Amino acid sequence: MTLDAIREKLHARERLSFEDGVTLFRHPDVVAVGQLANEVREGLHGDRTYFNRNMRIEVTNVCVASCLFCSFAKLEEGAPDAHTMKLQEAWSELEARLEDPPAEIHIVNGLHPGLPFSYYEELLAGFKRIKPDVHMKCFTAVEIHFFATHYGMTYLEVLQRLRRAGLDSLPGGGAEIFHPEVRSRIAHDKATADEYLEVHRVAHGIGMKTNATMLYGHIETFEHRVDHLIRLRTLQDETGGLQAFIPLAFHPDGNAMRNLLAPTAVDALRTVAVSRLLLHNVPHVKAYWVSMTPEVAQIALRFGADDLDGTIVHETIYRAAGSRSPSGLTVDHLVRLIQEAGRVPVERDTFYSVVREYPRAALPESAVKVRDRKANKHLEVLS
C-alpha cells in the first residue's frame, strides 16, 4: 500500500486497515504522513486547538503493580519516597488555587492495597464540597479494575458509587500497549487489555465519557501500536464514548527499562499523525506537552493533534521518569504556543464545550517572537 493509495482511501472516507497503519508507521517521509493527518485534523476542527484549566493530583504512589516502565510507584507504604495524602492534604491543593481555580481535577494513583474504598469516595465528595462545579476526571480503568477486584464489586458498582460521590469522567491512563506479547512483559500484574476496554465500555454504558492512551517507544513494534489503535477504534464503533486519544511517549529514567532510549521527536510526531489517521472515529487527538515537551507538542499541532491538554499544575509521574518539561504552564503560554502554530486557541471544558475562543495571533506566524527558548525561560513555570 502506497501513501497515495492511503490518501485516496482517506478522501473516499474509507477506514484504514491494519496494513495501512503499519505502512504509515514505516513510511520514510514523516512530513508526508503528517500532511495527511493535518488534512484530517483540519477537516474535523479547522484551526481550532483546545486546552483547559486543569490540575493534576496523585494522592498515593503506593502500588501493588510492578510495571517496568514506571518511575512513580513505590511498592509499599513506608518505602523511601512513598506517599499517601491525607484527605485534607489533597483538598488543600484545590483550596490553595481557588483564586484561579481549575475547571478539571485529574487524579491518577498507584494501586494502594491498604486504603478503604470510602477514602476515594470521600476524596471526590470533598472536592465537590469545595467547588461543586469542578469536573472530577479521576481513576484510570486500571484503578477501577483494581477497586472491583480488591473491594469485591463489579465495574458497574464501582463506577456508580464513585459517580454518586462526584466522579464525572475517566482519564485514559493505564492502556500502555494492549498486545499480550508486550503487556505480559511490561505490565503483567494489572488489568489486561480486555479488562481495560471493558471498564471503558461499562463507563460509556452509563453515559460517562472517557479518554484513552498508548504508551509507545519502548519494546513494542509498529504492529503492536496499530493493534492497539484498532482495538480502541473498535470500542469506539461500539460505544462512541471516547473523547480523546493521547499518545504517551515512554521516558526511561528511574525505571526498569532505563537502558532503552526514549522515543525521539520524529517518532512522537509520527505517532500523533498515525493515531489521527487510524482513529477517524475519535474526535480529538492530544499532543500532551508534558510527555513530548511544549516545543514538540506545538509542532504536533501541524501533525494531526488538536489539543494541548491543559495547564496541568502539577504533574509528577513524567517528572519522575526524567521528563524535562515544566510541571505546569499558564493559560497565557498555552494560548501563545497555539497562536504561534498559526492555530486558534479555544479554552474548553472536559466535554469540549467552548469556554472561550481566543483570536488568532495578531501578528503573522513568522513575526511572533518568544524569548530565550533554549532555556525555556519563556515558559512561566507555575510550581
Partner 1 sequence: MDRAIAAAGLGDVLSARRAGAISDDHLARLRAADLLALGALADRVRTEEVGAEVRVYTGGGGDVDARLVAFPRAGEDLTGLELLREIAVARVAGHRGARIRVDWTISGLELAQVALAFGANELAGRIATKRGLAIAEGELAGVGKKSRLESARVVKQRELAGLVERAGRVPVFVHQDLGAAVPDAIRQEAP
Chain positions contacting partner 1, by CB under 8 A: 3-4, 7, 28-32, 34-35, 38, 252-253, 258-259, 261-262, 264-267, 269, 293, 295-296, 298-299, 302-303, 322, 340-342, 365-366, 368-374
We find the least distance from the C-beta atom of residue 300 to partner 1, in angstroms, to be 10
Quick check: 148 and 117 in contact, CB under 8 A? no
C-alpha cell at 19: 496494513
How far is 156 from 169, CA to CA, in rounded Å? 14
CB closer to partner 1, 149 vs 330:
330
How far is 201 from 199, CA to CA, in rounded Å? 5
We find the least distance from the C-beta atom of residue 322 to partner 1, in angstroms, to be 7
We find the least distance from the C-beta atom of residue 234 to partner 1, in angstroms, to be 30
Residue 51 main-chain phi, psi, to 5 deg = -155, 165
CB closer to partner 1, 96 vs 261:
261
User: Which position has the grid cell 504508551?
Assistant: 215
Amino acid in the structure at residue 333:
H
CB closer to partner 1, 13 vs 374:
374
CB closer to partner 1, 36 vs 312:
36
How far is 37 from 288, CA to CA, in rounded Å? 17
How far is 374 from 376, CA to CA, in rounded Å? 5
We find the least distance from the C-beta atom of residue 380 to partner 1, in angstroms, to be 16
CB closer to partner 1, 265 vs 331:
265
We find the least distance from the C-beta atom of residue 337 to partner 1, in angstroms, to be 9
How far is 162 from 175, CA to CA, in rounded Å? 21
Q: Where are the alpha helices (DSSP H) in the chain?
A: 3-11, 18-26, 30-45, 87-95, 117-130, 141-151, 155-165, 180-186, 193-205, 222-239, 265-278, 289-292, 294-300, 317-320, 331-340
Residues recorded for the chain: 383
CB closer to partner 1, 10 vs 193:
10
Determine the straight-line distance between the first and last CA of the chain, rounded to whole angstroms: 48
We find the least distance from the C-beta atom of residue 233 to partner 1, in angstroms, to be 24
We find the least distance from the C-beta atom of residue 263 to partner 1, in angstroms, to be 8
CB closer to partner 1, 28 vs 78:
28
